[in-house]
């Protein structure tokens, strides 16, 4: 990755965008298949997009009410806090989970005729965004039920989740290469995602009274990428944005580097899934 020139980055992005236009019909078909297929064999269908976070919330509420777990002071009712946090976490980890297996998943089609793998990645990004829109709509209804007052700043929620999206996509792209050639590394990272969730203020607040978790949360980039969108959506006043801006800048650089690396390396691993 030494000596990456701006012109190299521009040329990779030009190629990605041109391929997306060239294969736009394939992209549409893949999105249609994915959206309709993901719960095709399930009776409840897309309702699972809401049931999944509700089940997680239910577990945490039981632990909370049993006094087994003190999440620290939250600005909004704890169930509402959990709902937004878990939805954001699912949004982030969804990119890692789906993009992470995209090369292997595309194998069946790639063997027929080669097509740019970025079509499969774009499909995964679109599916995750659509799923998140469904979950978010449900979140807003529940937040209204809890009496959360949305304000103009709540609209900033949408742009504020872009860094979280970019970070999830970067992890997904990077580790999708390992999923093919070094499955153990991919598996370790995949298994660590749950631990990472506990090290991020998702089920507890940033004000948690635990020295260890507090220190981890302070240096964990996901703290800023999840807490700022959550605070913006739920109308929290006086939000400190410095950490968010620094983290977002770093994430943007990571994203550009990962896309460059992925683009130069992906063809080398594709043949390994077809051997």
Partner 1 sequence: MQKEQDNRSEVLVDVQNVSKKFCKNLKKSMIYGFTDLFRIKKTNKIRLRKDEFWALQDVSLSLKRGEMLAILGLNGAGKTTLIRLITKTFPVSSGRINLFGRIVTIYEKNRALNKFYSGRENIKVKCALFQMSRKETMEKIDTILNFAEIKEFADAPFGTYSTGMKARINFAIAFYSNPDIIIIDEGFATSDRKILEKYIAIIRENSHKFGVIIISHNQVIIKELANKIVILKKGKVFYNSYNVSKGLQIYNSYKNNTKTS
Sites of contact with partner 1 (CB under 8 A)? 1, 22-23, 25-26, 28-30, 33, 37, 40-41, 108-115, 177-178, 180-183, 264-265, 267-272, 274-275
For residue 130, the minimal CB distance to partner 1 (Å) is 19
For residue 264, the minimal CB distance to partner 1 (Å) is 6
For residue 205, the minimal CB distance to partner 1 (Å) is 40
Q: Which is nearer to partner 1, 166 or 177 (CB)?
A: 177
Q: Which is nearer to partner 1, 73 or 271 (CB)?
A: 271
For residue 95, the minimal CB distance to partner 1 (Å) is 20
Q: Which is nearer to partner 1, 6 or 66 (CB)?
A: 6
Q: Which is nearer to partner 1, 183 or 198 (CB)?
A: 183
The distance from CA 207 to its chain's CA centroid, rounded to whole angstroms, is 24
Evaluated on CA atoms 187, 190, 192, 195, the torsion sign reads negative
Q: Which is nearer to partner 1, 46 or 220 (CB)?
A: 46
Q: Which is nearer to partner 1, 64 or 120 (CB)?
A: 120
For residue 8, the minimal CB distance to partner 1 (Å) is 10
For residue 27, the minimal CB distance to partner 1 (Å) is 8
């Amino acid at each position: 990755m030494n000596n990456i020139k701006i012109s190299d980055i521009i040329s990779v992005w030009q190629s990605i965008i041109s391929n997306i236009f060239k294969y736009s019909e394939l992209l549409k078909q893949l999105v249609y298949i994915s959206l309709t297929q993901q719960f095709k064999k399930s009776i409840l269908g897309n309702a699972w997009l809401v049931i999944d976070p509700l089940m997680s919330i239910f577990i945490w509420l039981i632990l909370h009410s049993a006094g087994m777990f003190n999440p620290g002071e939250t600005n909004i009712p704890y169930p509402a806090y959990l709902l937004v946090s878990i939805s954001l976490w699912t949004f982030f980890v969804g990119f890692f989970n789906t993009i992470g297996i995209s090369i292997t998943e595309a194998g069946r089609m790639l063997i027929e005729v080669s097509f740019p793998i970025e079509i499969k990645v774009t499909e995964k990004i679109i599916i995750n965004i659509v799923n998140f829109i469904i979950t978010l709509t449900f979140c807003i209804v529940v937040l209204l039920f809890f009496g959360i007052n949305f304000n103009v700043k709540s609209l900033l929620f949408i742009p504020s989740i872009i860094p979280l999206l970019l970070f999830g996509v970067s992890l997904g792209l990077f580790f999708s290469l390992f999923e093919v050639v070094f499955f153990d590394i991919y598996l370790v990272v995949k298994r660590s995602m749950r631990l990472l969730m506990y090290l991020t203020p998702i089920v507890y607040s940033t004000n948690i009274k635990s020295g260890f978790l507090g220190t981890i949360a302070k240096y964990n980039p996901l703290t800023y990428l999840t807490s700022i969108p959550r605070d913006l959506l739920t109308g929290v006043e006086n939000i400190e944005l410095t950490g968010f801006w620094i983290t977002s800048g770093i994430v943007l650089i990571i994203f550009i580097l990962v896309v460059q690396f992925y683009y130069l390396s992906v063809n080398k691993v594709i043949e390994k899934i077809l051997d």
